[in-house]
Structure 1
Amino acid sequence: MNDAPKSGVATARPKKRGKPTKSDERSLNREAILEAAVALIDEIGLDAFSVRALAQRLEVYPAAIYWWLPTRNDVLAGVVSHALQNVQPPPETTDWKEWIADLMRRYRSVVQQHPKVAPLITSQLVSNAGVDLKLVERLLSVLKEAGFEGAKLLAAYDVVLAAKIGFVSMEFAMPPQEESDWADRLKAMTDNIDAVEYPNLSALRDAMLNRHFILRWQNGAEVPLDESFEAHVYTTIEGLRMLLTR
């Protein structure tokens, strides 16, 4: 396929993955590439995103991007790092419970701003391509200062990361794109719930429908689960406190 940029851009082609042209070099840097990548994913979604599309948005050849980020996975890992760059709480937050609560809220705030980046954040964290070693070190330090040690320290570390990512991943999971009528089918399925067989669900149907997990057709970008998230933060902190004193 043709890698040509938009019309009006200089036609001199730099070598693939080689040094960009002088004009590209002056106008492009790693930060600008990642900022544009996050904005493009916000606009068109992760499935439609490609380095070629990003190059077209920046009006450069793909080689100019690869000069700064040698592979597509480097671009995606960089997107995660860029999106999460302000997740870590400030150093003046010294109480471990406040620090963890702030971390969880900051992470959710990032995903609220960039919900289409959320699946990428999860996959990159699993692959460790977008790992933030400074955050890992700070989290371990916070937990050690709280009194966690040994196996309990490592268990608490896993609990914090799972709590931070898990709820938000569910809240902002993208709804099905290929079935336009699935929301109507979900509502129809709950219209005639048997109150004898499902007494709690029948009584709480109206309160739950599209406002809580499972029985919803919009994600947190449109219907945020603020109260439930704060309950999740509280439960996580209290659970860790009990683990510490057990």
Structure 2
Amino acid sequence: MGVMATKERSSGAGDPARTLELLWRDGAAVPGGRRGPRPGLSVDAVVDAAIGLADEGGLDALTMRAVAQRLGVTPMTLYTYVPGKAELLDLMLDTVFLRMPRTSFAADEPWRARVTAVADGNRALYLRHPWLAELRVHRPPLGPGVMRKYEHELGAFEGLGLDDVAMDSALTYVLGFVQSAARAELDARAVDRESAMSDGEWWAAHEPLLARVFDGERFPLAARVGEASAVAYQGMYSPDHAYAFGLGRVLDGLGALIRSE
């Protein structure tokens, strides 16, 4: 993938000063060129149109021309609101973070329940906006959505005896697991969609062939465990099981850290 293609799937690739100005605009239209703003159009409208396109077709469907067409304006008009696609991606990311539902944490709520709520909220966000899994977010835009999300999610680890660095690392650990699990789930959905077959249907169609070529005596563990798993998952893979099992082990690991502090 070339440099330009990489930039088009990365956060923090635009003009930093312009991006920050747009991120903290408080909902106002912020034209960026010499032409005046089109009545009824705003930065928020541009971002909403872009999110809609990405939700429907992924980042490949997101171009400045496509956004302009959805809004019924020319691409040149669009550039009076957003300098380019790099800045638009940052605005989209910050917007979905700002709008995501957040579960309030009760003071006496067990920490595992609080962290689970953070994980579940992020998993739901990825499944609602699959393009997020395509986006590289090594340098997140420091807008109100990113900051509010970070502030809220750190609250799941407050009062556990962790120092500030450990709190940040623990949150990063949880979010990294969720992102990985969400990518795997989205990949599985894409395979189902593209093949027009569920895992169960695929397995049923290929089981007779596998039975002819697979030697269970040569691979006894694979035969035993694979069969048990296929029955449990009703196919080769269960996103829900993989997420629940993995999150449980993440929480167990954090539990060991918390007890050691």
With the length of structure 1 as denominator, give the TM-score of the two structures: 0.70
Aligned to 1:76: 89
**Aligned letter for 2:58?**
G
Candidates 200, 203, 208, aligned match of 2:221: 200
Partner of 2:125: 110
Structure 1 position 60 matched with structure 2 position 60: no
Aligned positions, number: 217
SS at match of 2:187: coil
Q: Tell which has more relative contact order, 1 or 2 (C-alpha 8 A, sep 6+).
A: 2
Give the share of equivalent positions with the same residue, in percent: 21
Aligned to 1:238: 252
- Root mean square deviation of aligned Cα: 3.7
User: Structure 1 counterpart of 2:140, which letter?
Assistant: N
Q: CA deviation at 1:207?
A: 4.3
Distance 1:232 1:200 in 2: 22
Aligned position for 2:11: none
* C-alpha distance after superposition, 1:46-101 (max 9, x if no partner): 22321111111111122333333222111112222223334463344443322221
Structure 1 residues 81 and 197: CA distance shift in structure 2, 3 A: farther
In structure 1, C-alpha distance between the alignment counterparts of 2:228 and 2:73, rounded to whole Å:
52
Check whether the contact 2:33–2:81 (CA below 8 A) recurs between aligned residues.
Answer: no
Shift of residue 33, structure 1, vs aligned partner: 1.8
User: What SS does structure 1 have at the residue aligned with 2:61?
Assistant: coil
1:169 aligns to 2:191 (yes or no): no
**Counterpart position of 2:24:** none
State the partner residue of 1:35: 48
Q: Which amino acid aligns with 1:99?
A: R
Contact 2:53 2:62 in 1 (8 A): yes
AA aligned to 1:198 is F
List alignment gaps of at least 5 residues for structure 2.
1-30
Structure 2 partner of 1:44? 57
Question: What is the TM-score normalised by the length of structure 2?
Answer: 0.66
Deviation beyond 6 Å, 4+ runs, structure 1: none
- Structure in which a larger fraction of residues adopt helix: 2
Residues 154-193 of structure 1 mapped to structure 2, 5 A cutoff: 154-173=168-187, 175=190, 187=206, 190=210, 192-193=213-214
Alignment pair present for 1:101 and 2:123: no
Residue of structure 1 in register with 2:167 after alignment: 153
Q: Distance in 1 between matches of 2:132 and 2:154?
A: 26
Letter in 1 for 2:247: V
Distance 1:141 1:102, change over 3 A: closer
Is the contact between residue 87 and residue 103 of structure 1 (CA under 8 Å) also seen in structure 2? no
CA shift for structure 1 position 212: 9.2
* Deviates most, 110-119 or 33-42: 110-119
Structure 1 unaligned blocks of 5 or more: 1-15, 217-223
Report what 2:147 is aligned to: 133
Residues 53 and 61 of structure 2 are in contact (CA less than 8 Å); yes or no, is this contact kept in structure 1?
A: no
Aligned to 1:221: none
